[in-house]
Amino acid sequence: MERKRNIINSLSLVPEELEQFNFARYEKYAEIERTEARAEEYRMEDAEICVAAFGIASRVSRNAVDAAREMGIKVGLIRPITLWPFPVDPFKRSLSTVKKYISVELNMGQMIEDVRLATECRRPVTLCNRAGGMIPTPEQVLEAIKAAANGGEQ
């Protein structure tokens, strides 16, 4: 064949080459983590309790946060908009005021591990969840917030 042939593949069997490829990929992932993480912070200014929730769970949690605030509980919400890269920064910053975290999820607890990693396990993190397509009510989340405020469940 006159021209150089094209080979399209994703297989790299030479360790020296594959290691360089891995390094290059991880540089790219690190850049994504630096530039693409997004989250919404809601009533977090002076929050001592932080509810972490995304998607449907976050909408439910927002009502619960408002209800708890009316009762005088200092609670806020961090709503990750990207789950990867996980928005570590808002969690790191929140450590200056927050004493307890509640991960509200529609599963058996998946993001709770990311919250623990983001806060480097420096505060207790509890789970408030439903599963199988069931959705927690604002009341259920409010109960979890009240329990945290009363020093319960820990």
Partner 1 sequence: MVVFKKPHALSDVPLHYCPGCTHGIVHRLVAEVIDELGIEGKTIGIAPVGCSVMAYNYFECDMIEAAHGRAPAVATGVKRANPDNIVFTYQGDGDLASIGTAETVHSAARNENITVIFINNAIYGMTGGQMAPTSLPGQVTQTSPYGRDVNLCGYPVKICEMLAQLDGPEYLERVTVNNVKQIKNAKRAIKKAFQNQIDGKGFSLIEVISSCPTNWGMTPQAALKWIDEKMIPYYPLGVYKDRSAEKKEDKQ
Interface residues with partner 1 (CB under 8 A) are: 1-2, 5-11, 13
Q: How far is the CB of 29 from partner 1 (least distance, A)?
A: 22
- Nearest-angstrom CA–CA distance, 76 and 41: 8
Closer residue to partner 1, CB minimum distance, 9 or 150: 9
**Token code pair at residue 72:** 């005088």
- Nearest-angstrom CA–CA distance, 145 and 100: 9
Closer residue to partner 1, CB minimum distance, 7 or 24: 7
Q: How far is the CB of 4 from partner 1 (least distance, A)?
A: 10
CA distances from 117 to 34, 57, 128, 138 (A): 16, 20, 18, 26
CA distances from 130 to 7, 73, 106 (A): 49, 24, 5
- Nearest-angstrom CA–CA distance, 9 and 71: 60
Q: How far is the CB of 107 from partner 1 (least distance, A)?
A: 29
- How many residues appear in the chain? 154
Closer residue to partner 1, CB minimum distance, 9 or 96: 9
Closer residue to partner 1, CB minimum distance, 2 or 70: 2
Closer residue to partner 1, CB minimum distance, 5 or 34: 5
Q: How far is the CB of 136 from partner 1 (least distance, A)?
A: 39
CA angle at 125 for the pair 124 and 130, rounded to the nearest 5°: 150
Q: How far is the CB of 15 from partner 1 (least distance, A)?
A: 16
